[in-house]
Amino acid sequence: MAGSDGCAGDSAAGSDAEGLSFVVGPDLGGQRVDQALAELCGVPRAQVSRWITGGRVRVDGKTVERGSRRVREGHHLQAEPPEAPEARVIPEAIALDILFEDADLVVVDKRAGMVVHPAPGHASGTLVNALLHHCGSLPSVGGVLRPGIVHRLDRGTSGVMVVAKNDFSHRVIAEQFHDHSIERIYRAAVRAVPTVGSGRVDRPIGRHLRDRKKMSVRSRSSRPAATRWRVIERFPGAGVAWLEIHPETGRTHQIRVHLASIGLPVCGDPVYGRSRKRPHSGVAPILRPALHAAVLGFKHPRSGRSVRFESPLHADLADFLDRLRRGEEA
């Protein structure tokens, strides 16, 4: 989903009495039907595979038997997601920092350390647990464990997230994520000081060859990914730089993987941030990835008007930057 995500490019989306309906655009032509439908619906491919096994997916009116079938531009895809089973996620009264809410969506400022949805080892205390308590119910198209979730932020990443409150909003927002019309701006402290002021990483990302929990730019099965970055501030004494980042695509762990691949690992990242270079001994390290989703802009699914939400820098990151600045002045 990016991290860790709809209708692609010129693909057309809608709904009918029989469920979800899409027309394949040129950007999805040639893809596997399970992968294409997963991107169009903004759900995991494994979930689409279950729909196919249950005879719930059709291409041009014919039931799909294999997820590996290729689709072509102009193909009409239909899916009938099963009725959601009784929710297994327990609503929990967990405080949320809500930036905006209406009948269609809720925009939250996620704190670092909060897992977005239940997963092995994290059955409770997640953003979904909190949202179910706050909203009462969320759309089922994202799955029982991911209701309303259109995109994700990694556990250690703070900042702006949008959550859909109904199937219509989920479908429209997922489409914007897929065609990359969403405005997303991140900020990060990296453990190196670039000699240039900006750059762009254009390297496909896929599962790591040996560690399936990690992503890599050296995967045998990868998808296109691109990230732009520019330097906001340099701290040469600590060997750290403060960057603004614009992901052009939304692959899992994309920013962390891309920056690490060019020698700019995110400070505090225990997975991709290993480096022999350490901040100056006078600057205490940050205890989580120094990555913040600062801006999220998109078209409101109901009104179509442009909306834009910003998250101020969270206290731990602001304090880390202050310590870096004081270290440079010392």
Catalytic residue among 109, 154, 269, 316: 154
Tokens of 60: 């041009």
**Strands (E) located in the chain:** 12-16, 19-23, 57-59, 62-63, 76-79, 98-101, 105-110, 158-164, 183-190, 198-202, 205-207, 215-216, 222-223, 226-235, 240-247, 291-299, 306-310
Task: State how far the Cα of 170 lies from the Cα of 105, in Å rounded to an integer.
Answer: 9
CA distances from 195 to 77, 178, 263, 324 (A): 49, 33, 12, 19
Beta bridge partners of residue 231, listed in sequence order: 243
Per-residue pLDDT, 202: 97
Per-residue pLDDT, 2: 37
Neighbour count for residue 248 (Cβ, 10 Å): 15
Beta bridge partners of residue 235, listed in sequence order: 240
Per-residue pLDDT, 212: 67
Neighbour count for residue 218 (Cβ, 10 Å): 12
Tokens of 42: 């903004």
Task: State how far the Cα of 269 lies from the Cα of 301, in Å rounded to an integer.
Answer: 34
Per-residue pLDDT, 6: 30
Per-residue pLDDT, 83: 66
Task: State how far the Cα of 260 lies from the Cα of 214, in Å rounded to an integer.
Answer: 13
Instruction: Render each residue's pLDDT in the chain as its tens digit; 330 residues.
Output: 434 423 233 344 444 444 788 888 877 888 899 988 888 877 788 889 889 988 899 999 899 999 999 999 889 998 888 765 544 788 999 999 999 999 999 999 999 999 998 877 788 999 999 999 999 888 877 677 788 999 999 999 999 999 999 999 999 999 999 889 999 999 999 999 999 999 999 999 988 877 767 899 988 778 899 999 999 999 999 999 999 999 999 998 999 999 999 999 999 999 998 654 454 445 678 999 999 999 999 999 999 999 999 999 999 999 999 999 998 875
Tokens of 122: 């994290």
Task: State how far the Cα of 273 lies from the Cα of 225, in Å rounded to an integer.
Answer: 19
Q: Which domains, ranges and CATH numbers included, belong to the chain?
A: 12-79 (3.10.290.10), 98-178 (3.30.2350.10), 183-329 (3.30.2350.10)
Query: Can 5 be counted among the known catalytic residues?
Result: no
Task: State how far the Cα of 141 lies from the Cα of 81, in Å rounded to an integer.
Answer: 7
Task: State how far the Cα of 244 lies from the Cα of 230, in Å rounded to an integer.
Answer: 5
Per-residue pLDDT, 275: 52
